[in-house]
Amino acid sequence: MTSGTDSAAPAGRVLVVDDEKPLAQMVATYLTRAGFDVTAAHTGPDALQAARTREPDVVVLDLGLPGLDGIEVCRRLRAFSECYVLMLTARGDEEDKLAGLEVGADDYITKPFSVRELVARVQAVLRRPRTTIAPPEPERVVGDLVIDLATHEARVAETPVALTRTEFDLLAALSARPHQPLSRRQLIDTVWDPAWVGDERIVDVHIGHLRRKLGADPSRYIDTVRGVGYRMVAR
């Protein structure tokens, strides 16, 4: 199912993946009313096919799917797409949340959820390129790490580093204020949205991913400031 508005360009492309068809339809309806071009899929294989053909900006992805579960869908999705992934998880199930984040999900929302809150999350992430990735300088250099703000790419010793949108935005936020500690809340406000509500440890998970991708030394570029948060350093 695909739906959209004809009177104006869509606000962005969203893929909704949930095997509960009435829920998927309701979410798609609200997102369409908000101006998005929406596609729905109800199985893991169909979700991957839709992601390849539709190239969504955001994927709303349930964990419990037939064919391939949401974790495997996200893992495979990350092999060819940098789209924003919002995982739907059961309330209080920390293992599911962490598993989703570990394979490349950017954020999560717990079931049962407010559809209006979900729409607000999608709107917030699609505002991010206009707010966080618009500095005057084309790139930033931290030691042998180059952060190219124009192309949304990072390189270590001239070798490209494959980052998700959230990982790159964290890197951009930290490098904008080098050597200055930023709290988890400050990073959430900058990278996610000031209205974001949830476990602030989501920042720790993404910082962990970012450190591993940047090199073997976990604190080579990003220091942990105990009791505060994180800061960008050059060693």
Give me the residue spans of the domains in the chain.
Answer: 2-128, 139-232
pLDDT at 92: 64
For the domain bounded by 139-232, which CATH number is listed? 1.10.10.10
| pLDDT tens for each residue of 108-143 | 888 888 898 899 889 888 876 543 444 456 788 888
Contact 15, 1 (CB under 8 A): no
Contact 63, 70 (CB under 8 A): yes
| pLDDT tens for each residue of 171-229 | 999 999 888 999 999 999 999 888 787 788 889 999 998 999 998 676 789 999 998 99
| pLDDT tens for each residue of 19-38 | 999 999 999 999 999 999 99
Burial of 217 (0-12, 13-18, 19+ CB in 10 A): exposed
Fold that domain 2-128 belongs to in CATH = Rossmann fold (3.40.50)
Mean pLDDT on 89-117: 82
Q: Is the pTM above the cut of 0.75?
A: no
Contact 3, 28 (CB under 8 A): yes
Exposure string (b/e) for 169-183, b if CB count within 10 Å is 16 or more?
A: bbbbbbbbeeeebbe
* CA dist list (Å): 120 to 44, 149, 204, 216: 25, 26, 23, 37
